[in-house]
Amino acid sequence: MLNIAKPLFAVLLLVTSSQLAAAEFRAGVVDTERILRESVPAARAESKLEKEFSTRDQEIKKLLKQAKEIQAYLEKVAGTPPDAAHRSKERELANLNSNLQRMQREYNEDLNLRKSEELAIVLEQASKALQIIAEAEKFDLVLDVQSRVFHTPKIDITDKVLKFLAAEEDKAAKK
């Protein structure tokens, strides 16, 4: 009987100590996609990009309207024999379409580059906020919500990060 009691006691001790260790361990998850959608710095970055690229966007829209007008004119006179003015409009439309494609490609490349830069800034701010919250609330582990298999809502600290970022934005605006 004594031979069975020692291993049973060891197992019981191991289970009890692991439960105590688990009680001290704090884990949390954060949804970075949500932070990139809903945080104050992300909204600020989005409006900054809209302002920065609005002139180029308007220019592209203006050229698109001009191309549609030329296309409509060419369709209107399609039944008549081509003359010099007709050929000139066709060349103008071809040049306009070429310029539009180039401008749209450059616009998209520049916009994507700036978006990446701004998102990197937002992620850096979120990372700092997350670190401050994790240290203040003594989290042992914080995972991104995309890297986990399962979590309970009680360990989701995304709202805390969003509130922290909003508070930091308010502090910066007051300065």
Confidence of residue 93 (pLDDT cuts 50, 70, 90): very high
Domain that holds residue 156: 23-174
Total number of domains in the chain: 1
Other C-beta atoms lying within 10 Å of the C-beta of residue 123: 16
Mean pLDDT across the chain: 84
What's the rounded mean pLDDT across residues 139-161?
A: 80
To the nearest 10 degrees (0 to 180), the angle between helices 158-174 and 84-136 is: 100
The region that residue 29 occupies, defined by phi over 0 for left and psi between -120 and 50 for alpha, beta otherwise, is beta
Indicate whether 42 belongs to any domain: yes
Indicate whether 85 belongs to any domain: yes
Q: Is the pTM of this model over 0.85?
A: no
